[in-house]
Amino acid sequence: MLKTALTARLAIDHPIIQAGMAADCGVELAAAVSNAGALGTVGTIGRTPDGLEQELARMKAATGRPWSVNIVTFDWAPFAGSLLDLTIAAQPPSITLSFGDPLPALERCLAAGIPAIVQVQDFAAASAVLTAGPAAIVVQGNEAGGHTGRRGTLSFAAQVLDQAGDVPVVVAGGVATGRGLAAALAMGASGVLMGTRFKATHEFGGPSTGLLEEQRSSIVQSNGDNTVWDEITDIALGMQWPRAIAGRVLANRFTEKWLGQQEALRKEVAAQEQMFAWTAANNSSPETVLNWAGESSGLVHQVLPAADVVARTAAEAEQLLRDASRVLEPVPASS
């Protein structure tokens, strides 16, 4: 079994965190991951306060293992303040903070005695977070699915590891198998966070995953080359993210039509009176749906139970690390 600073700090068996992919990560997925010995995460974007309150109660009943709740800390995120208030009041085993300025929310988590895991997309943010007392820091590279920054995973993770001290570093972006976990541990990280791999599980699904079977099938069929990272995803949704952040999805007719046509798309969406109205009308078929997924899609070859993903990833990483030790020459005994 793999033991790291992350497993010790979060009291989990395997150094694997399931990404909090909005409201599509509910109790079914999060509890399955936690019950398998990793850290399951309940997503909050797309939930109302009442809906989140019910989901947190269900999660407490579904597992006695550690779990987390993902909070997006942009001020404009729907119900952002209320969702954080509810989550802190519920006293989950941990809270994961992503995007925006996480420091005020991190301070509140620490004051409430709740370990906070903070995800960052650039070195400036990492430097600020490392001095603020996180339970762990997640270094998210550009290869990740969904919203991510510009930095590549490997060099960004190495840079943060040089500065992290005793804060566990978790690698995200491009990881879907034990090879990625083994590579992260070999470079000194304490674990990995996976999203795309957990999207292709039987337990994943929620209010925004229309055409779920088609989305899973597209991930399994992907060779990893057909992803697009661009602001058109957020223009379509009527959302304004910082320039350094964009969404990665699998390419389809939507991306083919609108790449390079950002201003034209912006005008179409602006004519709608409500957020998400344009996507509801225009992204409702397998050819146009926003299928959030990363480059690790090329490593996903079948839809599995979440517990199998955890077990296979951990076992493969452990075997690879044992095999890797064979490249080291024995140290001669001193005379």
In tens, the pLDDT along 100-141 reads 899 999 999 999 999 999 999 999 999 999 999 999 999 999
Domain-located, residue 80? yes
Q: Answer whether residue 291 is part of any domain.
A: no
How many Cβ atoms from other residues are within 10 Å of residue 98's Cβ? 25
Residue 290 lies in a domain: no
**For range 175-202, the mean pLDDT:** 98
- Structural domains of the chain, count: 2
Condensed to tens digits (0 to 9), the pLDDT of residues 203-231 reads 998 655 568 889 999 999 999 999 999 99
151-180 pLDDT per residue, tens = 999 999 999 999 999 999 999 999 999 999
Do 81 and 221 fall into the same domain? Answer: no
- The average pLDDT across 230-249 equals 90
Q: What is the mean pLDDT of the chain?
A: 93
The pTM score is: 0.94
**Shared domain check, 193 and 138:** yes
| CB environment 310-334: b (16+ within 10 A), e (fewer) | bbebbebbbebbeeeeeeeeeeeee
Residue 61: other Cβ atoms inside 10 A: 10
Confidence of residue 237 (pLDDT cuts 50, 70, 90): confident
What is the pLDDT averaged over residues 60-79? 91
The answer to whether residue 289 is domain-embedded is: no
The domain of 246 spans 212-282
Instruction: Check whether residue 128 and residue 259 sit in a common domain.
Output: no
Same domain flag for 23 and 39: yes
Residue 334 domain flag = no
